[in-house]
Structure 1
Amino acid sequence: MLKRNFGIACLLAVMASGGAVAADYKGPLEVPAKVNTQFAQANRLTAVAKAGNALVAAGPRGHILVSENGGQSWSQVPVPVSSDLVAIRFLNATHGWAVGHDGIVLHSADAGKTWIKQFDGKQAAAVADAHFKRAMAAGDEQAKAFESFVTRFVEEGADKPFLDVLFLNEKEGFVIGAFNTAFRTRDGGKTWEPLFWRVENPNSYHLYALATHAGELYAAGERGLLLRWNREQERFVALASPYQGSFFGLLDTGKELIAYGLRGNVYATSDGAATWRKIETPAADSAVGATNLADGRYALVTVGGRILLNKKDGSGFDLLPARSPMPYASVAAAGGQAVVAVGARGIRVETINGQTVQEK
């Protein structure tokens, strides 16, 4: 009897301990990013953007780094969450947003030096539920068709990543992500509204990229999905697509809108997406990042570690030699004839004219 009672006591102690551990557990939305600049810049990074004269890079575990000397040195900055970050974008030299897993939206008002949380997946679920109930009460037939989608979104909680963010000005901005996840703010990120039933994406394909061109807002995604925001209807309207593979990014070059993605496919339009022309590339691996350069050209990076520079006549690309390539995820102009590319093993600074690569 003593042995049996001792065993039960041990079992209860283990159960109690497990309950305490579970109660004490804090997820990435509650835990700030750990600061270790050397570790952060040498490991995987997924996004980089220019903020005035600074460069800001982001990646897993809530890591955000800032460089004020063209990528030659970096400092990690505090971030209030440790969620994996996927995309970062600056509206101007000071205001920027970073988004990623757990439905996180971060905002900086000082060129990336400090960050606050504006939105997360838990809030997104609550907001979606409240908006949907109001839409149903108002007899919104478009919303009604998304009843099962919204129910699932709310039940699953903060598990949907945001994959891109774009602000049209300091007030109006959009975030998009996996499985047709899309939200808009009209007050600089203080409040958000779901756009699920305002996106012509019946198969709920992933939404990967946002860009503006000639005053219009575009989105791109899985299976060749291309969309344009119709401001009068307040919805993303599907466009005829020149390619049925996924588009991972969009770039406004000023003259054209570039869509790039799977297997190195690149297309350009200069007539509001009425027609597209294919631009041949010397790479068969997926293009995942792009940036405009000071001389009017633009650069693409691929998951195979290639950097492509478009020819000035727009007819194709030159493959830039890389001394120590790695799988890339994003690229940003670093001033002059240099770019900063980030990926699986941290940061590389590419001097285009000298054709040299520096590993950071």
Structure 2
Amino acid sequence: MLNRKFGYVFLLALLASSAAVGAEYKGPLDVPAKVNTKFAQSNRLTAVAKAGNALVAVGPRGHILVSENSGQSWEQVPVPVSSDLVAVRFVNATHGWAVGHDGVVLHTADAGKSWVKQLDGKQAAAVAEKSFKKAVAEGSEQAKKSQDLVTRFVEEGADKPFLDVLFLNEKEGFVVGAFNNAFRTQDGGKTWEPLFWQIDNPQSYHLYALATHAGELYAAGERGLLLHWDRQRQYFSAITSPYQGSFFGLLDTGKELIAYGLRGNVYATADGAKTWRKIDTPAPDSVVGGALLGAHYALVTVGGRILLNKSDGSGFDVIPASSPMQYASVAAASDHSLVAAGARGVRVETIRDQAIQEK
């Protein structure tokens, strides 16, 4: 009897303790990122972008670092969340957005020195549910077809990551992510609208990348998914894809739109995505990042390769890296240097003048 009574009392104490812990628990959306520049700079970072004369890198635990000397030194800045960040983009020298897990969208108006949260997964679910009910009430057949997707999105909570962000100007922007997760803002991020039923993606493939080319907006994703934003219809229409593997990124070179992804596959189009040409690469591993470099462009791979395109468009040369790592993203620090983010933080790589002149 004593043992049973002790066990019962112990169970009650354990449940009370668990309840107290649960009540005190705060998730990454409620906890600011811890500031430790040395740790953040040397550990995994997932994306880097140019912001005027500055560079901004983002990564796990809400880490954001800023460099104002072409990547020679970095300073971690305060961030209101500790969610893992996946992508960062700037529309001009000061205004930028970072996105990531838990449906987080962050905004800066001072070149990355300070950040505010504009959206998270909880808010996104509430917005999606409200917008869906309104669209159905107005007779949208496309919205009705998305009922299961919207229901799952709302029920599963703030667990859908955004994987890329792109603003066309300071007001209009798009964020895309896992399982067809996509939103648009037309007021600089103050309010957002879901795009679930405005995307030709019936299998709800992941959406990995956004880019503009010749004034048109494109998206790329899982299993060769390529999309074009039809502004008149307010709809992402599917494009015939040259490849059935995943595309992880898009890059506008000015002359062409480059799509890159799984197993070193790179394709280019110069006619509004009507036709694509395959560009051979010396990389068997996935291409995950791209950046313009003067009159050229560079791509990086998960295997630690830096690829510089040849002037005639026929392929790429591998550029030796001073300290290669598993890359995740790349940006131009100058016309002759790149800053890459990856498994061991950020690295600046100088591209020899000769290497560029020989192209």
TM-score tier, shorter chain, comes to over 0.9
Match of 1:60 in 2: 60
Match of 1:327 in 2: 326
Q: Secondary structure at the match of 1:314?
A: coil
Letter of the 1:103 partner, please give it.
G
Deviation per CA, 1:124-155, whole angstroms, max 9, x where unpaired? 10000000111111111110011111111100
Match of 1:242 in 2: 242
Letter of the 1:339 partner, please give it.
L
Match of 1:76 in 2: 76
Corresponding residue pairs, total: 355
Q: How does 1:104-119 map to 2 (within 5 A)?
A: 104-119=104-119
* CA RMSD of superposed structures (Å): 1.3
Letter of the 1:13 partner, please give it.
A
Match of 2:342 in 1: 343
Deviation per CA, 1:194-220, whole angstroms, max 9, x where unpaired? 000100011111000000000000000
**2: CA distance between counterparts of 1:2 and 1:244?**
67
Deviation per CA, 1:39-83, whole angstroms, max 9, x where unpaired? 001000000000000000000000000000010000000000000
**Structure 1, gaps ≥5 residues long:** none
Letter of the 1:121 partner, please give it.
G
Letter of the 1:28 partner, please give it.
P
User: Is the Cα contact below 8 Å between 1:260 and 1:266 reproduced in 2?
Assistant: yes
Q: How does 1:138-217 map to 2 (within 5 A)?
A: 138-217=138-217
**2: CA distance between counterparts of 1:355 and 1:5?**
82
Q: How does 1:117-136 map to 2 (within 5 A)?
A: 117-136=117-136
Q: CA deviation at 1:3?
A: 5.0
Runs of 4+ in 1 over 3 A off after TM superposition: 1-7
User: Is the Cα contact below 8 Å between 2:322 and 2:349 reproduced in 1?
Assistant: no
User: Is the Cα contact below 8 Å between 1:322 and 1:355 reproduced in 2?
Assistant: no
**2: CA distance between counterparts of 1:2 and 1:150?**
53
User: Is the Cα contact below 8 Å between 1:292 and 1:299 reproduced in 2?
Assistant: yes
Match of 2:219 in 1: 219
**1: CA distance between counterparts of 2:6 and 2:225?**
63
Letter of the 1:213 partner, please give it.
H
Q: Secondary structure at the match of 1:157?
A: coil
Q: CA deviation at 1:355?
A: 9.6
**1: CA distance between counterparts of 2:353 and 2:303?**
22
Q: CA deviation at 1:277?
A: 0.8
| TM-score with structure 1 setting the length | 0.97
User: Is the Cα contact below 8 Å between 1:48 and 1:56 reproduced in 2?
Assistant: yes
**Structure 2, gaps ≥5 residues long:** none
Letter of the 2:147 partner, please give it.
E
**2: CA distance between counterparts of 1:50 and 1:11?**
55
Q: CA deviation at 1:354?
A: 7.1
| TM-score with structure 2 setting the length | 0.97
Match of 2:307 in 1: 308
**2: CA distance between counterparts of 1:61 and 1:76?**
12
